Amino acid sequence: MRVLNVGSIKCFLLKDGIFQYPKAILDSEQARAILGDLPEEIPIPYTAILLDNGTHRILVDTGAGPLGPHTGRLPSQIREAGYTPDQIDTVLITHAHADHIGGLLNEDGRFAYPNAQLLMARAEWEFWLSLSLSGKLGTGQLMGIPPLEDLMHQWMKRYLFPLADRVELLDGEREISRGVNAFAAPGHTPGHMGVALASGGEQALYVADAFLLPEQVKCPEWKLIFDTDRPTLVNTRRQILDRASADRCRVIAFHFPSDGFVSQQGNNFTWEPASDRKSESI
């Protein structure tokens, strides 16, 4: 487990596991040009974060739960970091895809973080609850793969909707705690959010699924089947890249194999995996 120090904020990178995706999520001329020939299944990692600023403990995303044979490790990662679920003060869900909400409930159906405030964007909640969307799920109209849409819907009904009375909905940016700000990053989904950390003159950005692959830093226009609004997403990505490169922010993405930094050269951006002394392993 990597532990990053952003000023006085400890940021634990929690490995929930790896899921094998069909190559259809990437299989396009652009994907082949960038990645070459693709295997039938592509392993993609899941990494949530736990933040401790000395006052509050904030979990951002909860992992996939029992989505696959190699997921659902987040609870043990929290214990390895030295915490228990009842010590978590806030749970922020960046968006309602299955791999981010599957850890919300215990096996007995209870909220896994009993003392935590549960937050997500109002735009996200209203999108997934809309009647127009429910008619599309499972038909291939949303992502092009009906079984994947069915799985998304099942996970929301199982893990998110039972917590309707507990969810506090956010409109726009919100300071969650000292040095921790949630911000709108739409496009992947309508209410997708990121988290900005700032402490002691240092900054970091948790961008969740605004980028799925490091190669999208160089090619921010590259859309995958999960992305609902490409023009908005490309604009969001460019804003993140501009901010990350200008302010030298450390960047953490849910599906990247490591944290890192973004550099700009003219109109182009490059990804630099991190390996510096401001992190440690436990």
- Tens digits of pLDDT across the chain (282 residues): 899 999 999 999 999 999 998 888 875 677 767 777 778 888 999 999 999 999 999 999 999 999 999 999 999 999 999 999 999 999 999 999 999 999 999 999 999 999 999 999 999 999 998 856 777 777 877 888 888 888 888 999 999 999 999 999 999 899 999 999 999 999 999 999 999 999 999 999 999 999 999 999 999 998 888 999 999 999 999 999 999 999 999 999 999 999 999 999 988 999 999 865 455 544
> pTM for this one?
0.94
Joined together, the tokens standing for residue 196 give 């900005």
Q: Say which CATH architecture domain 2-281 belongs to.
A: 4-Layer Sandwich (3.60)
Tell me what pLDDT residue 28 has.
Answer: 66
Tell me what pLDDT residue 131 has.
Answer: 57
Joined together, the tokens standing for residue 31 give 């994907």
Amino acid at residue number 226: F
Joined together, the tokens standing for residue 93 give 């869900």
**Polymer length of the chain:** 282
> For the chain, what is the largest distance between any 2 Cα atoms, rounded to a whole number of angstroms?
53
Tell me what pLDDT residue 169 has.
Answer: 98
- Chain CA centroid to CA 159, Å: 17
Contacts of 153 (CB under 8 A, 6+ apart): 134, 137, 138
Residue position matching structure tokens 């450390």: 250
Tell me what pLDDT residue 7 has.
Answer: 97
How far is it, in rounded angstroms, from Cα 169 to Cα 282?
34
Tell me what pLDDT residue 280 has.
Answer: 53
Tell me what pLDDT residue 277 has.
Answer: 43
Tell me what pLDDT residue 23 has.
Answer: 80
Q: Which strand ranges, in their side-by-side order, compose the sheet holding 90-92?
A: 167-170, 117-121, 90-92, 57-60, 41-52, 9-22, 2-6, 279-281
> Would the CA dihedral through 116, 122, 128, 129 be positive or negative?
positive
How far is it, in rounded angstroms, from Cα 176 to Cα 91?
10
Query: How many CA atoms are closer than 13 Å to the CA of 117, on its beta-carbon side?
Result: 12
How far is it, in rounded angstroms, from Cα 101 to Cα 60?
10
